[in-house]
Amino acid sequence: SEAIKKLMGLAPKTAVVLKNNQEVEVSIDDLVIGDLMVVRPGERIPTDGIVHDGRSSVDESMLTGESMPVNKSVGDEVIGGTINKQGRLIIEASRVGAETALAQIIRLVQQAQGSKAPIQRIADQVSAVFVPIVIFLAVLTL
């Protein structure tokens, strides 16, 4: 559905990881817990983590609906898919892949869209019987 596509679009496809004091761009699928990611101003945070170095404000409106950015500094938790607004952050990955907050939100939306409310199931059962009867009676009256 459109909502799920938009949610999936919030996660970046790549991340810049510090390896041997070098910045290396890797696929988001290759991130592991403990990786140190570099996130510059204006970039989306690749995955959930803890600020290892730096200070910034982060736009968490996609999660909280709050329009004001939240200040983040060393030791603060950040959520993947949110946007780094001001300073350069180095973030230690704490959850990756299906364990991230964004992945869990996507999973919950998929479950909600795939399941019917009890009243919908009752309506389906009633219409499965009622509609054929009405059509049969309509044909008889012709």
- Give 39-50 pLDDT, tens digit per residue: 999 999 999 999
Instruction: Say if pTM beats, i.e. exceeds, 0.85.
Output: no
Q: Among 2.70.150.10, 3.30.1490.190, 3.40.50.460, 3.40.50.300, what is the CATH number of 2-116?
A: 2.70.150.10
Provide the sign of the torsion angle of the four alpha carbons 22, 28, 29, 32, taken in this order.
positive
- Both structure tokens of 69: 């950015």
- Give 70-100 pLDDT, tens digit per residue: 999 999 999 998 999 999 999 999 999 888 8
Burial class (CB in 10 A: 0-12, 13-18, 19+), 105: middle
